Amino acid sequence: MSQTTARFINIGERTNVSGSAKFKRLIVKEDYEAALAVAREQVENGAQIIDINMDDGLLDGEMAMTKFLNLIAAEPDISRVPIMIDSSRWDVIHAGLQCIQGKGVVNSISMKEGETEFLEKSRIIRQFGAAAVVMAFDETGQADTEERKVEICTRAYHLLVEDGFPPEDIIFDPNIFAVATGLPEHDNYGLDFINATARIKQDLPHARVSGGLSNLSFSFRGNEPVRRAMHSVFLYHAIKAGLDMAIVNAGQLDIYDDIDPELRTAAEDVILNRNAEASEALLELAEKYRGGAVTGTASRRDLSWRKDSVAERLKHALVRGITEFIVEDTEEARRASEKPLHVIEGPLMDGMNAVGDLFGAGKMFLPQVVKSARVMKAAVAHLLPFLEEEKQLAGLADMSNGKILLATVKGDVHDIGKNIVGVVLQCNGYDIIDLGVMVPCETILKTAAQENVDAIGLSGLITPSLEEMIHIASEMQRGGWDKPLLIGGATTSPTHTAVKIEPAYSSGSTTYVADASRAVGVVRTLLSDTDRVPFEKQTREDYARIRQSHKRGHSAKPRIRLEAARSRAMKINWAGYTPPRPKTNQALVFDNWRLEDLVPFIDWTPFFASWDIKGRYPQILDNPVVGAEARQLLADGKKMLEQLVAERWLQPRAVLDFWPANAVGDDIVLWADEARDQRRAVFHTLRQQMPKDTGKPNFSLSDFVAPRETGLHDWVGGFVVSAGHGEAERSERFRKANDDYSSIMLKALADRLAEALAEALHAKVRRELWGYASQEHLTNVEMIQEKYHGIRPAPGYPSQPDHTEKRTLFSLLEAQSRIGVALTESCAMTPPASVSGLYFSHPESVYFAVGKIEKDQVEDYARRKNIKLAEAERWLAPILSYSR
């Protein structure tokens, strides 16, 4: 995969009332919850920015934009991606800029009303730290030819840059127009855009290029197979020319090579204007595809491939992950070869190279690649005795493309993503030294030196891992290392890598790797004699721009003072409210929860995400791009789940308790008994400090507990659950049997069962053990959508980002002695397939994200917890609004 392709950004288009009838209907009906689901689906389908447009005659655009963006701010799974405020009305854009958190994008401004107004708007955008989409539109009109596009964009670029607008925040839209309209003057529109993109990228440093993709295929509306093919073909050529991003439906793109060749050629003829009859030919061909795509997928039981040569059979088995015949085919190849090593160097490596090429091109997905690795390992395992006999194992080692050390950093126990990366790199000929989890810095560097590795990869899931990665980078700098450092994991990001990690390690290169699909391209480039230097130079320049942008974003988004935030706390009317009393006030331990009873509570959506297949279940099963693989993955998962349940591979365990509690300021005080005159423990909470213009409160978890001064006898609950007991041993058994696919599958299922146990236990709490919702009858879908009464927020997550609050919870519950779940020094739970949290019963309690906080709150928090300011800043580093 090229670096250009890897950096392409999908802008989700479905949260646009002008382009989506469904979204418009929801907004007009003010069904904002369903509208949020549309935005969430866009993110899950791969959108890295979501475009939001409220321009419609039936709407108050300013009000709708403000309300929707404020709702998004409280949805971490949506607000983790940047927002593009899309409107033709400046008042709507300005209102939107005041709502979004982090760095946003304005779509759009142009010079159609002259340079003065253009620059005035750009200065306001700059004050908010946002980027701007600049349309190729001037006082004369929209640019339609290549020359006009380049001319207008060049003029706008120099005006903005000379006025102080950061060039990396300029995103040009040179106008994608419809092709194949029947008018000859439109025939070159596709090629004009592609050529203009290449010139803009070459001549206007650091600027980006975007476009609205749906315009291209307007002539074929109603014929989705043809539209998808046109979009994919256009992107294939435009991205190579330098297109950085596009407004697309991320779940409705076909893989270029998977498009029917006849349709692909016809679409390419139109987009590149290769002949005068291209439009007519595509219009004629389009009728063949109206109503659905023409596809054909070979059945796995089609054994015609068994008639091919042994080399082709091995390649077929590797690409399709078929182990059924691998031993006999490998043996046949060995008998026909001079040496067993030649089988590995020849047909097996040819097959794995094909796998790597298909994966890099986006034609295979991670589960398929892991299955291919299982086939490869089975073949090599068959050959190993013969290799040992001929003393050729050293020759096998010589085949390596490089040696990579991977480790989950100290204090962190999560390794699914790291394991997948390791398998993918092995499939591409790299030797992997996997040190496992909770690996201290000294072990990582000592092993890397002893093994003379070519690169070091660090992984982590919990936020304290970010600080450990900075420490390792600093130690590499102090030790004079120059090996490439790779950063990955759920809590990592390009921004954190650029702002915190890369500056600590200037003697070598630091590269953020978003997921396994990027790993091979990044490693191959970093270990290349010719490509490494320019790639590292480009990465450093990119990270320098990210740091500048981050700095501007911080200065553009001040927080309110803690005192003011507290004055805007949620005002619950406690008069007349009687807090429900739990049915028990003693800790309860569950050691015998039946696995089969947890299966109905499973949320399958994160299961697919753990395999880097993004999308909401069950819709993902019908996704035109990943649907087939998602269905196969689900079938494999359910097959293992059935065996797991029947044979009791895992032992679900849980502990919970309830405590008398009251809020004292931003603290939740737990009392020793119901007399409430002696403190037992305190949960410390954090309060939102973002300014809110809509009258919405600045939440803290303490808001949902009756204040001490009310005299009310309120309660808070806590829990720890795990489905991880037994997982590590069986996963390791699979791994030693060269079955990485089953090993990773088991880890993913254990995670799902732990979350299912947390969901099932919460339902039991609401209906029986606390009993405040005894008449509740919710489906699993409704529980996943959090339709229940009360909440169960977890320390270390958006509502309370401080992981150290788990220490209080675990101590109160005696979680380690009662159910065998412990905390690492970084407050990660072990076994990893574990979940913990608090229970709140008030009907107005809601989930929220604290967001960035100011130093005055950190100082206050440190005083309340009786810890040093530096320690508080270390644990809260990811949410600090200031630099330490």
Could you list the active site residues?
Answer: 412, 414, 465
Return all residues near 233 (Cβ < 8 A) that are at least 6 apart: 256, 259, 264, 267, 268, 271
Three-state SS letters, 721-759: EECCCCHHHHHHHHHHCCCHHHHHHHHHHHHHHHHHHHH
The Cβ of residue 781 has, within 10 Å, a number of other Cβ atoms equal to 11
User: DSSP secondary structure string, 551-610?
Assistant: HHHHHHSPPPPHHHHHHTS-----TT--PPPPS--S-EEES---HHHHGGG---HHHHHT
CA–CA distance from 264 to each of 189, 255, 613, 670 (Å)? 18, 11, 25, 66
Give the sign of the dihedral formed by CA 466, CA 467, CA 472, CA 474.
Answer: positive
DSSP designation for 212: B
Q: Which residue has the tokens 């005192």?
A: 563
Q: Which two tokens stand for residue 660?
A: 């008398």
Q: Of 298, 345, 107, 333, give the one whose Cα is nearest residue 212.
A: 107
DSSP annotation string for 413-441: ---HHHHHHHHHHHHTT-EEEE--SSB-H
Q: DSSP string of 837-879?
A: EEEB--TT--------B-HHHHHHHHHHHT--HHHHHHHTGGG
Q: How far is CA 94 from CA 101, 118, 811, in A?
A: 14, 14, 49
| H/E run at residue 261 | helix 261-271
Is residue 361 within 8 Å of residue 257, measured between CB atoms? yes
Distance separating alpha carbons of residues 810 and 827, to the nearest angstrom:
10
| Phi, psi of 742, deg, nearest 5 | -70, -35
Residue pair 168/549 in contact by the 8 Å Cβ criterion: yes
> Strand 431-434 vs strand 403-408: parallel, antiparallel, or unpaired?
parallel
Contacts of 818 (CB under 8 A, 6+ apart): 587, 589, 655
In order of 318, 335, 352, the CA distances from 387 in angstroms are 21, 13, 20
CB-based contacts of 159: which residues, under 8 Å, 6+ apart? 111, 115, 118, 119
Contacts of 228 (CB under 8 A, 6+ apart): 252, 253, 254, 293, 624
SS3 (DSSP) at 156: helix
Q: How far is CA 250 from CA 6, 8, 30, 400, 711, in A?
A: 15, 12, 25, 36, 53
Cα distance between residue 718 and residue 807, in whole Å: 12
Pull the structure tokens for residue 571: 């005002």
Integer Cα distance of 300 and 288 in angstroms: 27
Count other C-beta atoms under 10 Å from residue 387's C-beta: 20
Give the whole-angstrom CA distance, residue 318 versus residue 654. 42
Distance from the first to the final alpha carbon of the chain: 38
Comparing CA positions, the residue from 798, 759, 750 lying closest to residue 782 is 759
User: Would you mind telling me the total number of residues written for the chain in this entry?
Assistant: 884
- Phi and psi, residue 155, nearest 5°: -65, -45
- 560 vs 692: CA distance, rounded Å: 9
